[in-house]
């Protein structure tokens, strides 16, 4: 389900809500920036969390106004790059907001 290629290096199911519902919303600007980041790094960008429906967002402690709810945010990792370095590269490709966590990087785009 949702095994549809939406960019050269991403399929739609990577952005699905992680609650098993297969629900997905994906803002095109987020996908464009993630593909630019993938092209820059020449390494897989792993989506830990993309879209979240309201129930799942609440369950994982997401902010009530989280952009994950609109498909405009993702939590990402690149296995061979530290979160701090990944954040630098994410800023370089133009994400509107970048937050570094110990285990991943949160990226957002705005309208």
CATH classification at residue 20 = 3.30.1380.10
What pLDDT, in 10s, does the model give residues 13-41?
Answer: 999 999 999 999 999 999 999 999 999 99
Cβ count near 42 (within 10 Å): 6
Domain that holds residue 71: 5-108
At residue 83, the pLDDT reads: 98
In this prediction, residue 88 has a pLDDT band, given cuts at 50, 70 and 90, of very high
**106, containing H or E segment:** strand 105-108
**Count of helix runs (H) and strand runs (E) in the chain:** 3, 6
Domain count, the chain: 1
């Amino acid at each position: 389900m949702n095994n549809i290629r939406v960019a050269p290096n991403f399929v739609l199911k990577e952005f699905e809500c992680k609650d098993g519902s297969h629900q997905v919303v994906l803002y095109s600007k987020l996908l464009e920036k993630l593909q630019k980041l993938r092209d820059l790094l020449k390494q897989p960008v792993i989506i830990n969390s993309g879209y979240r429906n309201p129930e799942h967002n609440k369950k994982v402690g997401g902010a009530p106004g989280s952009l994950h709810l609109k498909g405009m945010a993702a939590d990402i990792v690149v296995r061979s790059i530290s979160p701090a370095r990944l954040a630098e590269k994410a800023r370089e490709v133009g994400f509107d907001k970048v937050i570094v966590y110990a285990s991943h990087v949160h990226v957002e785009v705005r309208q």
